[in-house]
Amino acid sequence: SGFATAQGPYEKHCRALFESLDRIEKILSENEFLLGSRLTEADLRLFTTIVRFDPVYHGHFKCNIKQIETGYPNILRWTREVYQLPGIAGTVNMEHIKKHYYMSHTQINPTQVVPLNNGPDLSNPEVKPAKRPY
């Protein structure tokens, strides 16, 4: 939706994205992880998108119907849980992520201004897995 050059396609794809987020929110309201009680590759693949959502996709790509931090409590809990697993937080460099998106897509951000907000604090509150998830 973020690269759309017409209103109709933007709205169609933006709504589809949020329908998908709503489905994920429901799954995570019933499960600790996407496929139940165990961390899987699906969780790690989705994490890389969700960790970027509020600080990048919401504003840069105009995916702004809701934010993860305020609109999806179960996705936020899950994101914190994955982020807090050993070795994960060290792979997230939000300054690099934001600069990459906001400075490389000059067709949608010609000024290359990078916003200050880094999204929700993923290190607090601490989330403990129900059991060893992997």
Show the 3-state SS of the chain. Answer: CCCCCCHHHHHHHHHHHHHHHHHHHHHHHHCCECCECCCCHHHHHHHHHHHHHHHHHHHHCCCCCCCHHHHCHHHHHHHHHHHCCCCCHHHCCHHHHHHHHHHHCCCCCCCCCCCCCCCCCCCCCCCCCCCCCC
Question: pLDDT-derived band of residue 132, with 50, 70 and 90 as boundaries?
Answer: low
Question: pLDDT-derived band of residue 113, with 50, 70 and 90 as boundaries?
Answer: very high
* Torsional sign, CA 63, 101, 82, 84: negative
Q: Is pLDDT larger for residue 131 or for residue 26? A: 26
* pLDDT more than 70, % of the chain: 97
Amino acid at 49: T
| pLDDT tens-digit readout, 12-60 | 999 999 999 999 999 999 999 999 999 999 999 999 999 999 999 999 9
Dihedral of CA atoms 120, 86, 23, 6 in degrees, nearest 10, equals 60
**pLDDT the model gives residue 130:** 72
**This prediction's pTM:** 0.93
The Cα-based distances of 99 to 24, 50, 115 in angstroms read 28, 17, 9
Residue 134 has pLDDT above 70, yes or no: no
- Tell me what the mean pLDDT of segment 99-123 comes to: 95
Q: Is pLDDT larger for residue 55 or for residue 125? A: 55
* pLDDT more than 90, % of the chain: 89
- Tell me what the mean pLDDT of segment 90-102 comes to: 97
Residue 133 has pLDDT above 90, yes or no: no
